[in-house]
């Protein structure tokens, strides 16, 4: 039993009666109206936490009404209801702040689940938002540049919704941090956050990793495995490198998004799960669709709330702030005495293009702290690869990428040479591991393992 009133705005009398009856039988207090004008008056008077809004109203466009209501009370969870032929309009509503959308016809269970999720969202997010400064970066993000402020606003808006979030940006810009922030600010924050990298797992194992398998379903399946989708039940499933997903699995993912059911490999029956999807890619997803590598219908199903993370070179003074925070943290972890960064190095950082973005900057700072002593970071302490790029006047961001010369390799260990070649290839391809793997003729999973190994203490 919830004491909160729910506002229902639906102009069709028969549907209004059905929706109202279902809600009241479930223990909800309901106020219903048949027009946009009456609905807006009720909204101002009753201040409902949840609004069920038909987008096709006789006296006003439902989308305009929703925008006015959210301008008055941004914390309201609006569930838009639309016919099958107006899904694009519903997606537009999600991008403008709607919490969820329902496509007619829908069953009673789906209807009540959407309302319950909306009520939980309002109850969970509103108190947290009240005690959080509006300009404080969400999650683990650092920096308050104007491009990032827009990202933070979009994260906070997306967190209030149940919509699928599609994160784009170059490698190393913080796409997983973004996904984690969306999860942490949502009403699913107490549920699991399960990340899976679609480009790091061999295609023959990916279905099992995502949807699970039962014992004996294939060679090596010695026990039941739930899979990432089942593990994320009640929380968020983060699909990184989504454009690397095998075409056959794209079809199964689309079915999962449409039905909210999964069927583990070898299982006789499907099962329902309650999962929110957040996905990310460092590719241009529309180009992947044009090239036939990514299903168009899956793209439109996933690309509901887009968030684009700007490259580090466009973030201005954020670069210095991230470098300072990294220096303090790594010096503490490594027991070093570093306290500051030389002004010359700061200027170099500000003008460098950072093809590997934040991940590259963090690697540079870790390298400096581990391999040097002192209190101030100077230019001479910067890694060899960065010196080479600076001296040749190139920035590793385009066709001017310098070739690795034999003079620069002689005297180094084989492991160092391998790392330099891999990092140079990654830089040439904008940090894309799959592209670098194709150039080096190795599996993407091999590169991911090596990169993770470099991070190990």
The SS3 of residue 30 is: strand
343 pLDDT exceeds 50? yes
- pLDDT of residue 263 exceeding 50, the answer is yes
What pLDDT digit, counting tens, does each position of 201-215 carry? Answer: 887 788 888 888 888
- pLDDT tens per residue across span 57-74: 999 988 889 988 988 887
- Position 39 scores a pLDDT of 92
pLDDT confidence of residue 23: 92
Instruction: Please compute the mean of the pLDDT values over residues 283-287 and round it to a whole number.
Output: 91
pLDDT in tens, 403-413: 444 555 666 78
| Dihedral of the alpha carbons of 241, 242, 245, 250, in degrees to the nearest 10 | 170
Indicate if the pLDDT at residue 370 is higher than 70.
Answer: yes
Q: Which residue has the higher pLDDT, 52 or 433?
A: 52
Side-chain-side CA neighbours of 151 within 13 Å: the count stands at 28
In a 3-state reduction of DSSP, which class is residue 308? Answer: strand
- C-alpha 256/C-alpha 243 separation (Å) is 17
pLDDT value of position 248:
83
Q: Which phi and psi (to 5°) does residue 75 adopt?
A: -75, -10
CA gap 366, 329 in Å, rounded: 9
| Start and end residues for every CATH 3.40.50.2300 domain found in the chain | 5-130
Band (pLDDT 50/70/90 cuts) for residue 397 is: very low
**Three-class DSSP category at 6:** strand
CATH number of 315-455: 1.10.8.60
Weakest mean pLDDT among 33-47, 151-165, 325-339, 411-425 = 411-425
% pLDDT > 70, the chain: 89
Handedness of CA 142, 144, 148, 153 (dihedral sign): positive
Task: Look up residue 248 and give its two tokens.
Answer: 């056959």
Q: Which comes out higher in pLDDT, residue 317 or 162? A: 317
Q: Taking residues 41-52, what's their average pLDDT?
A: 91
pLDDT for 100 equals: 85
Name residues whose C-beta falls within 8 Å of residue 77's C-beta, 6 or more positions apart in sequence: 49, 50, 51, 99, 100, 118, 119, 121, 122, 160
∠ CA 110-62-134, rounded to 5°: 85
Residue 113 pLDDT? 85
State residue 402's pLDDT score. Answer: 43
CATH class of 5-130: alpha beta
**Distance (Å, rounded) from C-alpha 386 to C-alpha 420?**
11
Q: How confident is the model at residue 168 (pLDDT cuts 50, 70, 90)?
A: very high
Please say if the pLDDT value at position 43 is more than 70.
yes
Q: What is the pLDDT of residues 124-155, one digit of tens each?
A: 554 444 444 555 789 899 999 999 999 998 89
Assign 1 a pLDDT band (cuts: 50, 70, 90). Answer: very low
What's the pLDDT score for residue 333? 92
CB 188 within 8 A of CB 182: no
Q: Where in the chain is the domain with CATH 3.40.50.300?
A: 146-308
pLDDT of 409 reads 63
Identify the CA nearest to 191 among candidates 231, 131, 226, 139. Answer: 231
Give the SS3 label for residue 297.
helix
146-308 belongs to CATH 1.10.760.10: no
Predicted confidence band of residue 400 (pLDDT cuts 50, 70, 90): very low
Decide: 47 and 4 in contact? Cβ < 8 Å.
Answer: no
**Weakest-pLDDT range from 216-220, 259-263, 415-419:** 216-220
Question: Up-side HSE of residue 223: CA atoms within 13 Å toward CB?
Answer: 3
Find how far residue 313's CA is from the centre of its chain: 21
Contacts of 143 (CB under 8 A, 6+ apart): 137, 315, 317, 318, 321, 322
- Give the model confidence (pLDDT) of 239-262 as tens digits: 999 998 888 889 989 888 888 888
13: left (phi over 0), alpha (psi -120 to 50) or beta: alpha
- Over residues 110-119, the mean pLDDT reads 86
Task: Enumerate the CATH 1.10.8.60 domain ranges in the chain, comma separated.
Answer: 315-455
Output the pLDDT for position 155. 92
pLDDT at 95 over 90: no
Give the integer Cα–Cα distance in Å for 77 and 160: 7
């Amino acid at each position: 039993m919830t004491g909160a009133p729910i506002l229902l705005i639906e102009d069709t009398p028969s549907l209004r009666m059905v929706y109202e009856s279902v809600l009241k039988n479930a223990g909800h207090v309901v106020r219903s109206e048949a027009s946009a004008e009456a609905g807006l008056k009720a909204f101002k008077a009753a201040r409902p936490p949840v609004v069920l809004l038909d987008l096709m109203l006789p006296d006003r466009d439902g989308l305009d009404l929703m925008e006015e209501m959210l301008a008055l009370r941004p914390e309201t969870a609006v569930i838009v209801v639309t016919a099958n032929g107006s899904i694009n309009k519903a997606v537009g509503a999600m991008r403008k702040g709607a919490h969820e959308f329902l496509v007619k016809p829908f069953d009673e269970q789906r209807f009540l689940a959407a309302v319950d999720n909306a009520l939980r969202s309002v109850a969970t997010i509103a108190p947290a938002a009240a005690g959080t400064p509006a300009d404080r970066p969400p999650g683990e993000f650092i920096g308050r540049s104007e491009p990032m402020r827009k990202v933070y606003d979009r994260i906070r808006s997306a967190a209030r919704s149940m919509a699928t979030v599609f994160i784009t940006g170059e490698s190393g810009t913080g796409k997983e941090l973004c996904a984690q922030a969306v999860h942490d600010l949502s009403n699913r924050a107490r549920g699991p956050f399960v990340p899976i990298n679609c480009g790091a797992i061999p295609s023959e194992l990916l279905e099992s990793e995502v949807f699970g398998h039962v014992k004996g379903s294939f060679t090596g399946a010695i026990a039941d495995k739930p899979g990432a989708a089942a593990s994320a039940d009640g929380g968020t499933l983060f699909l990184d490198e989504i454009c690397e997903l095998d075409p056959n699995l794209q079809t199964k993912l689309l079915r999962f998004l449409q039905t909210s059911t999964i069927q583990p490999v070898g299982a006789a029956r499907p099962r329902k799960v309650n999962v929110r999807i957040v996905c990310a890619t460092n590719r241009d997803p529309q180009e992947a669709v044009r090239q036939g590598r990514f299903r168009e219908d899956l793209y439109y199903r996933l690309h509901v709330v887009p968030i684009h993370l700007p490259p580090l070179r466009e973030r201005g003074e954020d670069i210095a702030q991230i470098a300072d925070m990294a220096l303090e943290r790594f010096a503490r972890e490594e027991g070093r005495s570093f306290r500051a960064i030389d002004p010359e190095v700061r200027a170099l950082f500000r003008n460098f293009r950072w093809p590997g973005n934040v991940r590259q900057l963090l690697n540079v700072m870790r390298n400096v702290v581990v391999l040097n002593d002192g209190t101030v970071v100077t230019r001479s302490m910067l890694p060899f690869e960065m010196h080479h790029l600076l001296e040749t006047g190139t920035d590793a961001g385009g066709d001017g990428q310098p070739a690795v010369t034999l003079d620069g390799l002689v005297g180094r260990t084989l492991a160092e040479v391998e790392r330099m070649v891999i990092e140079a290839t990654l830089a040439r391809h904008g940090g894309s591991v799959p592209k670098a793997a194709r150039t080096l003729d190795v599996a993407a999973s091999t590169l991911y393992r090596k990169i993770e190994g470099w991070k190990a203490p």
